């Protein structure tokens, strides 16, 4: 929560109860939820909040780099509260995304032809996997 307050001050974002609730709900959810899933959680604390507000709040957080987004084919945008350098394991069957840490990946070298043309903001390695649960189902 401290991190959130520092970030809001840095970007001159007003700390409203709704923004705080959205952030809190996202931090408590490690599954990289969609806006709709965040909304379902926020609603428990703020019954009056609308999906639209949650959506807009999440978008502004991600624009300021307070949170990260993950694009998932077919499932829309998912939000990632983990601001530490980390990588993803994505299950092809259930679509679940989990975090993993690997220092060697953090320091992956960006090819010079990419660096010449683009400003690299973030490096994330995504491993496409079949998770334990789905493996069991066969």
Residue among 99 and 106 whose Cβ is closer to Zn ion: 99
Between residues 37 and 46, which has the closer beta carbon with respect to Zn ion? 37
Q: In three state form, how does the secondary structure of the chain look?
A: CHHHHHHHHHCCCCCCHHHHHHHHHHHCCCCCCEHHHHHHHHHHHCCCCCHHHHHHHHHHHHHCCCCEEEEECCCEEEEECCCCCCEEEEECCCCCEEEECCHHHHCCCCCHHHHHHCCCCCCCCEEEECCHHHHHHC
Q: How far is the CB of 131 from Zn ion (least distance, A)?
A: 3
Q: How far is the CB of 137 from Zn ion (least distance, A)?
A: 8
Instruction: Please say which residue, 91 or 125, places its beta carbon nearer to Zn ion.
Output: 91
Residues forming contacts to Zn ion in the complex (CB under 5 A) are 80, 82, 91, 93-94, 99, 131, 134
Query: Closer CB to Zn ion, residue 6 or residue 83?
Result: 83
CB of 86 to Zn ion, least distance (A): 6
């Amino acid at each position: 929560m401290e991190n959130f307050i520092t970030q809001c001050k840095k970007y001159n974002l007003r700390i409203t109860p709704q923004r705080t609730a959205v952030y809190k709900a996202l931090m408590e959810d490690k599954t990289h939820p969609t806006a709709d899933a965040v909304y379902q959680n926020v609603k428990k604390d703020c019954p009056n909040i609308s999906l639209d507000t949650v959506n807009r709040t999440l978008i502004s957080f991600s624009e300021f780099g307070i949170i990260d987004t993950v694009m998932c084919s077919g499932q829309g945008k998912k939000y990632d509260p983990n601001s530490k350098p980390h990588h993803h394991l994505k299950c092809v069957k259930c679509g679940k995304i989990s975090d993993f840490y690997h220092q060697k990946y953090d320091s992956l070298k960006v090819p010079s032809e990419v660096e010449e043309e683009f400003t690299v903001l973030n490096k994330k390695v995504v491993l496409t996997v079949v998770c334990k649960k789905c493996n069991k189902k066969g």
